[in-house]
A = this chain, B = another copy of it.
């Protein structure tokens, strides 16, 4: 039986870049002690008070269909967190931030419409645009600009596009878009009359500079959808709870999409997230402090290393290493690092062309082992560069 053309057009994320992640799992299954610095998942369990609240909610009877756009209490808490001018009517709760992104794209694009994304991008962005029936056009944010997007290039790519998707703090690069960048982006969105999707799931992980949501800039609230989540801020990746903050008209339209697809998010998961947002300030602060410390340790461990160049990440839970001096691609380096040193990292090529010759290293390992792995990686890069 023939599958649809569109499902066949959603390819694997960047082919052999992700093959390394799979290969690492194969080695682990064979008993090899692989150090995993690949995906952005915490190396610790969700804090107990959040799990306890989930169990309490379920036992209390919140096991039937929950309010589809999100419970009134959770929508209020998210609105309060989102800042001025945002009310519960602007909030739609989804099973994970990425589903909010998918819904927003469905609401913005008709089949074949274009959405611009910025390279390097979160690996699944092109897939999500294609899954939503759109065509992704790629703007560049080169390492030479500190991974800030090139606004002239972006203006070009926005010709005829319906939407632009950005992500600051950025996965994989760690860039935090400057006020100048954000104002430039906002200006382009207004000039080209495009929707802006601002993926801000790392907004609690800012190490340098300041997180600025473009929604707050003049004339942007009515054309901006902000994607948020408790995944990174409260160690809740596996809960699959995210949201969008959007114009009320879009929330109403997406309601019907929710009715006809996932039919909401478990009530006990929503209650756990509500607890995290209302009483989890200390948890959030501890999680943020943990990644800040690891980021500082990583910067220190890699300072002065030969064969690689680190731009200190301004945000998020990764470091991006430029290993072009070794003469290897990111894929080739990562393959050898895995086979020879049993350390798994993500090749930059998995995140677009602008990240070629780079590695993304997740800070998802306890301090000592993280530093040790980075030192091995740096020594290996040094050898290759000298070689």
Contact = CB atoms under 8 A, between A and B. Distances in A.
Contact of A256 (B10, B64, B195): B10
A6 B106 contact: yes
Given A4-B108, A6-B111, A45-B63, 9 more contacts: A4-B110, A45-B60, A45-B61, A63-B235, A99-B261, A127-B260, A130-B260, A238-B268, A240-B263
6 contacts: A45-B60, A51-B59, A54-B54, A54-B55, A55-B58, A99-B261
Interface string A45-70: 11010010011001111111110000
A217 interface: no
A107 interface: yes
A236 B62 CA distance: 10
Q: Please list the 7 inter-chain residue pairs (A to B) with the smallest Cβ-Cβ separation, ordered nearest first.
A: A127-B260, A46-B63, A55-B55, A128-B260, A10-B256, A131-B260, A7-B107
A352 interface: no
Contact of A237 (B5, B59, B63): B63
A60 B41 CA distance: 16
Copy number in this complex? 2
A128 B106 CA distance: 13
Contacts of A12: 256
Contacts of A131: 106, 256-257, 260-261
Nearest to A48: B59
Nearest to A109: B4
Contacts of A263: 96, 98-99, 240
Contacts of A240: 95, 262-266
Contacts of A42: 64
